[in-house]
Amino acid sequence: MKSNVEERRRLMLDLLDKTRGETRALLSSFDPDRVIHTDERAWRVRDILGHLGVWNWEAVRSLKAYAEGGEYYCIPTDAQYYEYNGPAADERKAWKLEQVWAEYETAHEELKRIVESMPDEKWDGEMVYPWSERGTAEHLIKVMMDHEKVDHCDLVVRATA
């Protein structure tokens, strides 16, 4: 019989696969240079993809540090969010589209790997998220996939309707 942790881990792996498949299908169906929303950076489809890759890597770093007994975060306070997010997005504007997709795909594979290998005893413990909030590993995966789908992919759909 499977343990509760194993069942929840499987659900998170399924969520990662489902979200990546939906994101891949959606974003690859648009011109990567199409502007989706026009804040000070004029985010294109490819910029959203780059943003997702960046944040998924940050989640990987936090999960890995936690699994190894440490902590990792890239933003010490909410007030510093834009100081990190803007430059990270700007850096990827110069990348080739293939590089942006590769980072996104690799980050998702690493998220899956760390979820698969997370020690059972760590699954329900409290960890530090990349933006300095605290919660469980499972909740971090849910937050990250919600960020991907609701905050960004659904935005693309609304902006292009």
pLDDT digits (tens, 9 = 90+) for 33-55: 999 887 776 889 999 999 999 99
pLDDT at 65 over 90: yes
Among the residues of 94-153, which ranges form H helices? Answer: 97-117, 137-146
Q: Which pLDDT band holds residue 79 (cuts at 50, 70, 90)?
A: confident
pLDDT at 144 over 70: yes
> How many of the other CB atoms lie within 10 Å of CB of 103?
19
pLDDT at 4 over 50: yes
Closest CA to 57 of 119, 113, 122: 113
Tell me how far apart the alpha carbons of residues 51 and 54 are, in angstroms, rounded to a whole number. Answer: 5
Determine the pLDDT at residue 1: 47
Closest CA to 15 of 143, 129, 120: 143
Q: Which CATH number fits domain 4-160: 1.20.1250.20, 3.30.930.10, 3.30.565.10, 1.20.120.450?
A: 1.20.120.450
Domain ranges of the chain: 4-160
